[in-house]
Amino acid sequence: MADQSMNLDLLKLIRDGYESGQFDLNLPKFMVSKGLEKHRLTETGLSFLFSGTPMQIQETCQVLKPVPGKNHMESLSLENHLEDFPMVMFSRITLSMKNAASFLGIRSPIPYAWKVTEEKWIKNGMNFAIGGTGVFKTLVDQPNMTAQINFFQQLIQKKVYTSSSSIALVSLAGNDYATYFAKNGSMEGTKAFTKSVIDQLVLNLKRIHGVGVQKVAVTGIVPFGCLPSITSSISYKQCKETVNNIAKFHNQLLQQSLQRLNNETGASSVFILLDLYHAFSSALKLKQDHPENSTFENGLKPCCLGSCGSVDETGAKKYVVCENPKQSFFWDEHHPSDQGWHAVYLALKHSLHSLL
C-alpha cells in the first residue's frame, strides 16, 4: 500500500506539472519574450558555467504578468519587479546561480539562448540549463545534459572561455524520475534506474572536467516528499518518507560517485556536492520530517494556492495568496518562496567556500 500511495503521489505531481506546462520536480520553467523567440529559463542539466573574470552587469528581475483570459504560460512578459506579485518566481538554478555567483563576487551568467543578442555579457559566463530536461530524454523535447555539454564544449573550442578559470554548477532536479514514473516505471525498478541516472551523470561530469574545468559543483536532489504537491493529500502535516527515500538513495549514490571521481583525479575538491536535501531540511528545521518544528509559520503549506498567476476571462484571480509570503517556505505546490530559497542558500553557504 505504501508503494501504491507513493506511485499515486508521484503521478499526481507529474500530471499536474506537465498539464500546466511548467513541470519540473522542483522548479518552474518560465518563458519570456526577448523580441526574437521564446526561451525557457533554466534549471536542470548543465546548470551554468562562468569564467573566473568578474564583470559587473545590471541584472533584471523576471516578473510574469497574467493577461485576462489567458493562462500564465500564454501571457508572459518582462515587467518591473513588483514585490509579492503572484508570478514572481525563479527556478532553482536561477537562484542557485545568483547566490553562488554573488558569493564568488560576480554576476549571474546569461542563458545560452541569448548568446547572440547579449554578446556583451558573455564574459560573465553562460547558463546552459533547459527546464524539464535530464541526463536522459525526458517528456520535454529539449536538449538533454549531454547536448548542453556539447554546446559548452563548442564555446571552449572557439576560445570563448578559458576552461581552467571556469567553475561549473551541474543540476539534476529530477525530471528523469518524472519521466520514468510517467512511463509506468515500477517502484521495484527505481533503484536500478537511479543507478543508471548516476552512471550517466558521472560520465557527464568527467566530460566537463575533461575539457579543463577545475571545479565542478553538483547539486543533490531535494526531499520530494516534502513538496506541497505531495503533502497536500495529508493537509501539509508532514513529509512522506516513502517519496523522500528516492531522493535519499540518489544522493547517497551521488556522494559516493563524487568521492570516487575525486580519488581518480588525485584531488579532494574538484567535484563538490551541494547537499540540497540537507539544506532544505535545515531551512525547514525538520525533525523526523515534521513541519511543526519549522521556523516558517506556514510549515509545508504553500503561500499561493490554486493556479498561481492565472486569471479567468473576466480577470478574476484563479489563486489565493497568503498575507505574509515571508512566513512561507514554499511559494506554490512545487517551488520554494524567495524567502525559502534564501534559507536554503544560508544552509548551503559553507559548501560554497569549496568553490574558492
- Examine the pLDDT at 21 and tell me if it is beyond 80: no
Quote the mean pLDDT of the chain: 71
Check residue 108 and give its pLDDT.
65
Q: How many CB atoms lie within 10 A of CB 94?
A: 24
Check residue 112 and give its pLDDT.
74
Report for 27-31, 75-79, 243-247: range of highest mean pLDDT: 243-247
Q: What is the rounded distance in angstroms from the CA atom of residue 72 to the CA atom of residue 16? A: 15
Evaluate whether the domain defined by 2-355 bears CATH number 3.40.50. Answer: yes
Q: How far is CA 106 from CA 31, 285, 308, in A?
A: 25, 30, 32
Handedness of CA 134, 137, 141, 146 (dihedral sign): positive
Amino acid at 309: G
For cell 483570459, name the residue: 69
Check residue 251 and give its pLDDT.
98
- Examine the pLDDT at 203 and tell me if it is beyond 90: yes
How is the chain split into domains, by residue range? 2-355
Report for 117-126, 160-169, 199-208, 212-221: range of highest mean pLDDT: 199-208
Which tops the pLDDT comparison, 113 or 319? 319
* Mean pLDDT computed over 260-279: 90
Check residue 66 and give its pLDDT.
37
